Homo-oligomer: A and B are copies of this chain.
Amino acid sequence: MGGPELERLIDLFAHLPGLGPRSARRIVLRLLRDRETRLLPLAAAIRACADAVRACGICGNLDSCDPCTICANRTREDKICVVETVADLWALERALIYRGTYHVLGGSLSALAGRGPEDLAIASLLARLQTSPPEEVILAMPATVDGAATGHYLTEKIKALGIPVSRLAQGVPMGGALEILDEGTLATALRARRLA
C-alpha cells in the first residue's frame, strides 16, 4: 500500500512499544495529512534529539547536557536514588517529592535473562559512592523478583561502604481497593503495618 517509503515508515512505527500495524497506519496518515505541522517537525525533532541527547556520564540520565541538569544542580540534596531505568527516574521527578540525585542501573539482575552485575551500571555506582559518599542511598527498585534480588545485592555492597541504605515502602497503592489487590501486595502491606 502506498509504495516502499510509506510501508517502511508504518513498519517502524508499528514496532514501537504500545503500537501495532493499525495504530501505526493511523499515525502515519495523520502525519502525512499535517505535513507542515507534524511530519516535518517530527523529523527535525528526532534529528535534534539524536544529535543533542546523551546519557549523563555521572548518573546515566538522558539529557542534552552532560553532566545532566539534575547532577549539575548544586541545590540537590546529597542523596542518591538508584533506579532501573530513565523512565523510573522521570516518574520520581514528576512526583516532585525527591530532591536528591540519581543513578540509573540500566536494568535489574536476572538469573533467567543472564544479566549479572557487570551488565549494569553497578561498578560506576560503587566507584561514585567511594569517591564522594552521600548521606544516603535510596533503592527504588520495582517490586518484582528481579528488582528485589538487585536490591539485596546492592544493599550488601553499599552497607559494606558504611553508607546508609533504604528502599521504597511496599503496600497498598493510593486509590487501591483491597478487593482488587493481589495477595502478595496485601500480605506485604499487612506485614509492614504501622501503628496508627
Contact = CB atoms under 8 A, between A and B. Distances in A.
Chain A interface size, as a band, is 35 or more
Contact of A30 (B1, B16, B27): B16
Given A12-B45, A63-B2, A64-B5, A39 B50 contact: yes
Contacts of A32: 49, 53, 62
A23 interface: yes
Given A8-B48, A23-B18, A64-B6, A90 B39 contact: no
Nearest to A87: B29
Contacts of A68: 2
A173 interface: no
A35 interface: yes
Contacts of A39: 46, 49-50
B42 A4 contact: no
A3 B53 contact: yes
A166 interface: no
A10 B47 CA distance: 13
Interface in A16-41: 16-19, 23, 25-32, 35, 38-41
A16 B3 contact: no
Contacts of A90: 1-2, 25
A9 interface: yes
